Structures are given as structure tokens and as C-alpha cells.
Amino acid sequence: MENMELKQALEVLGKEKKRKFVQSVDLIVNLQNYDVRKEALNTFVKLPNSNKKKIAAFLTKRTPLIDTITELEFKKYKEEKEMKKLAKEYDFFIAVAPMMPKIATTFGRVFGPMNKMPSPQGGLIPNEDEATIKAMIETMSSMVRIRNKEKSIKMSIGKEDMKEESLIANAESVIKQLEGKLPRGKENIKDVLVKFTMTKPIKFLDNMRK
């Protein structure tokens, strides 16, 4: 399909066959003039409108604020398939910093390749007081992790049931932030496409850039 404005692309996607679940709205950013071996990104971008992230926490004690995994429960995840199931259940994991060595030892071999490990860039808290946990939940709810191993970056910017203006604001913000993180800015961005989970992508970047 030929290029169109993002607003029009979202309208077209919204007319596609309805699914039995709420689909994610994904951006695919294709890169150019970019050496992924030397310039790969491992960072976060912030969405101005929340993407309804599902978050769990590694903490020393349980809290009603968030789904919690304590050290006593680590034994439930001895099998790799159980760790993978846990990793797929949540978008992000946060952790109190002193637990990280044990988390890395137990979950690192599975969570690392799946980009689910809490990290200094996003997810670590110094202590477990209520205010700190709430603040991190709020922060991570609006974050998208960027970690690319090829010349294409795919990220979720929302759900199909979000307001169109919110999705457009998220897309524009993410692209601007990416331009600031790439070594040669917008010159590294070849094009950007948008899609729902089960649809084909539609290119819109060329009409969006000035």
C-alpha cells in the first residue's frame, strides 16, 4: 500500500477484521546508514500516553501495589519453561536493587535474551517503600524498551482501543526520541510503518517528516 498519513493509516487498520482480543498498535522503524554491530541500542523511550503495561516486581516481601515475586518463590521457576512463561506474562519487571545478583543468577539466562531483566536504565528501585514502588510503576507504565539486533526496531505504542490522537502523539514522540538516540539522528531512519498485531504494516513516515 502506498504511503499515507498516520491518521489515515490508523483508520484503515481500524476497518480490518476484528479479533477476539485487543490488538497492540506497533511501530516498525527501519534503519539505514547504520552499523547494528557497533551502534545497537539498549535504551528506553517514554510514551506521553500510557500503553497499559503489565508489570511485576522482584521484592523481599509481597505488596498489594503490584504482582510480586519474592526470593522464596524463585524455586517455582527452576524449569526454563516456567521462567519463559513468567517472562511472557509481563511487559516489564522491576526489582529492588539488592536482589539483582540473585535475580540475575536465577533468571538471567532466560530473561536476558528476552529483554525482560530489570536494569539501571529502567526497573531498579533502591528500596521498597510504597512511594518508591508507585513512582516506578508509573514510570515503567509509560516506557518502551528499545533493544535492536538488526536494522529494524519494532515496538508497541498502544492498543487499538486507545484514542486515535493518543496513538498519534505516542508515535510522533517515539520517533523524535529515537532520532535523538540514533548516532546520525533522522538520517538513520529509512521509513516507519504502523500495524496492529494481526494486520499487515502500512508505511507512513515519508508524509510525516518535513
The sign of the CA dihedral 118, 124, 130, 136 is negative
- Give the pLDDT score at 80: 93
Same domain, 91 and 35: no
- The CATH code of the domain that includes 176 is 3.30.190.20
Domain end, chosen from 121, 140, 159, is at: 140
Q: Report which residue type is found at 115.
A: N
Domain end, chosen from 140, 157, 189, is at: 140
Quote the domain boundaries for residue 95.
55-140
- Give the pLDDT score at 185: 92
Render pLDDT for 178-187 as a digit per residue (tens, 0 to 9).
Answer: 999 999 999 9
pTM for the model stands at 0.74
Average pLDDT over residues 20-43: 91
Render pLDDT for 101-157 as a digit per residue (tens, 0 to 9).
Answer: 999 999 999 999 888 999 887 889 999 999 999 999 988 888 888 888 889 999 999
Order the strands of the 67-69 sheet from edge to edge.
67-69, 55-58, 92-96, 124-125
Q: Is 1 within the bounds of a domain?
A: no
Q: Are 167 and 25 in contact (CB under 8 A)?
A: yes
- The CATH code of the domain that includes 130 is 3.40.50.790
